[in-house]
Amino acid sequence: MILSEQKPFDEILTYLEKDKNVFIVGCEGCAQSSGSGGPQQVAEMKQKLTEAGKNVTGTKSIDFLCEKALIKSELKGKIDQLKAADAILVMTCGIGVQCVAAAINKPVYPACNTVNLGGTRGEWKGSERCYECGQCLLYHTGGICPLTACTKSLVSGACGGANNGKCEVSPDRDCGWELIYNRLKERGLLHRLNEMMKPLDHRKLMPRPEMMSTPRYGLENPPKAEKPAEEVKA
């Protein structure tokens, strides 16, 4: 799931400064779960924009705005409303905004910020987050991710900045490494603290270049098993 949150309304209004007529698109996938762009938020946005003097020509919530074919077919019945709009406001993640912009020949604006892909599933409100690092370290750290639990994403251990178990950045935030220490101790795994860690391979943190070209690529071209290093050299 992709977690998004609405931008401040003032920021949205600045996008629409020169546009009177607006069409709003919502997403019934992740944005609905995030509470940022489902049917309820679309209705609220329509009311707020109307109060702010805008003319909302129409609204539509679609199952998944990451599906361009779906966007086109779902919006077929709304062509007149779309034509009447100066701009389209899309209430979902960055992928959804890009898909709508690719599918419809109009100025398309984001109403949300994409927060993270954070391992959030559905309505899950837990604190566990995934960094999508492509080199999972959870074996070494007692099942608590050092990349997301530590504000500096340190792999070798605590920085020493914690005070009373709280991170130097905020007294509201636990030191991730102290959480890791306590977990390892509880499970009898404290020896893991002594394991020397390599710096992260940041290539693995990025989407593979071929996947950056289109969100469908991964589905259409399943990754092949990597060749051993010797073979590649030869």
Binding interface with other proteins (CB under 8 A): 151-165, 168-169, 175, 177-178, 181-182, 185, 190, 193-194, 196-200, 202
**Which residue, 35 or 134, has its beta carbon nearer to other proteins?**
134
d(CA 45, CA 24): 8
How far is residue 149 from each of residues 161, 191, 194, 231, measured CA to CA in Å? 14, 20, 19, 37
How near is the Cβ of 114 to other proteins at its closest, in Å? Answer: 17
Q: How far is the CB of 176 from other proteins (least distance, A)?
A: 11
* Residue closer to other proteins (CB basis): 68 or 152: 152
The smaller minimum CB distance to other proteins, of residues 38 and 142, is found at 142
Which helix (DSSP H) or strand (DSSP E) does residue 31 occupy? Answer: helix 30-34
* 191 vs 224 by CB, closer to other proteins: 191
- Measured between alpha carbons, how far is 83 from 81 in angstroms, rounded to an integer? 5
Query: Judged by CB, which is closer to other proteins: 121, or 185?
Result: 185
Q: Report the DSSP beta bridge partners of residue 112.
A: 6
The answer to whether 215 and 95 have CB atoms below 8 angstroms apart is: yes
Q: Which of these, 114, 100, 32, 116, lies nearest to 67 by C-alpha position? A: 100
Rank residues 81 and 153 by Cβ distance to other proteins and give the closer one: 153
Q: How far is the CB of 199 from other proteins (least distance, A)?
A: 5
What minimum distance in Å lies between the beta carbon of 156 and other proteins? 4
Dihedral through CA 58, CA 63, CA 68, CA 70, nearest 10?
-90
**How far is the C-alpha of 158 from the C-alpha of 214, rounded, in Å?**
38
Nearest approach, Cβ of residue 175 and other proteins (Å): 7
Judge whether 3 and 116 are in contact, CB under 8 Å: yes
Alpha carbons 91 and 32: distance in angstroms, whole number: 9
Which residues lie across from 26 on neighbouring strands? Answer: 61, 91
In the complex, minimum distance from the CB of residue 115 to other proteins, in angstroms, rounded to a whole number: 17
